[in-house]
């Protein structure tokens, strides 16, 4: 680490501590040339994930936007906010593990539906109706029939 005072490249770590939020490490260093002390912080470099929308535009991934969509789907359902946040955490972790800089919005939507299907079927259908842009009652009925078929296959 280069000394901010004399530009020497040799320094030694005197003390290391985690920051209060636990997301970085604070290191107290001493320059081996001028003996002055300085503080550095080490943290994980976060990659910005871009979401490719249906119209081809790109937006930065926003976990709050994802959480709000799930909250709307789960409104007046027996689903805790902790369960909803767990879905968002799981999806965000999966996206970060992919190590991709861009991901299509429909991929994220499918991930949400997979998780909602196992959590609450009504919330799943609500989310699917907006996500898949149901245009009439027939598309709604088809989705419910698909859900029932999947459920029957899982029980047998």
22 and 99 both lie in a single domain: no
CB contact at 8 A, 111 and 87: no
Domain-located, residue 5: no
Backbone φ/ψ region at 155: left (φ over 0), alpha (ψ -120 to 50), beta = alpha
- Per-residue pLDDT band for 135 (boundaries 50, 70, 90) equals low
Question: At residue 156, does pLDDT exceed 90?
Answer: no
Question: Residue 16 belongs to what domain range?
Answer: 11-43
Assessment of whether the complete model's pTM goes beyond 0.75? no
Which residue did the predictor score with more confidence, 45 or 83?
83
Same domain, 71 and 116: yes
Residue 51 has pLDDT above 80, yes or no: yes
Q: How many helices (H) and strands (E) does the chain have?
A: 5, 6
Q: How many structural domains are present in the chain?
A: 2
Distance, in Å, from the CA atom of 44 to the CA atom of 79, rounded to the nearest integer, reads 33
Average pLDDT for 9-34: 92
Q: How far apart are CA 38 and CA 35, in angstroms?
A: 10
Q: How many CB atoms lie within 10 A of CB 85?
A: 14
């Amino acid at each position: 680490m280069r000394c901010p005072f004399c530009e020497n490249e040799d320094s030694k770590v005197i003390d290391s501590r985690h920051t209060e939020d636990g997301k970085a490490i604070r290191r107290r260093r001493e320059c081996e040339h001028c003996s002055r002390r300085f503080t550095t912080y080490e943290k994980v470099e976060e990659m910005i994930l871009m979401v490719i929308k249906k119209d081809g535009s790109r937006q930065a991934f926003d976990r709050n936007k994802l959480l709000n969509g799930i909250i709307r789907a789960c409104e007046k359902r027996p689903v805790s906010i902790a369960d909803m946040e767990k879905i968002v955490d799981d999806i965000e972790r999966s996206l970060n593990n992919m190590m991709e800089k861009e991901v299509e919005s429909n991929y994220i939507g499918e991930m949400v539906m997979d998780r909602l299907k196992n959590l609450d079927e009504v919330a799943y259908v609500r989310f699917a109706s907006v996500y898949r842009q149901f245009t009439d009652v027939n598309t709604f009925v088809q989705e419910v029939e698909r859900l029932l078929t999947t459920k029957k296959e899982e029980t047998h």
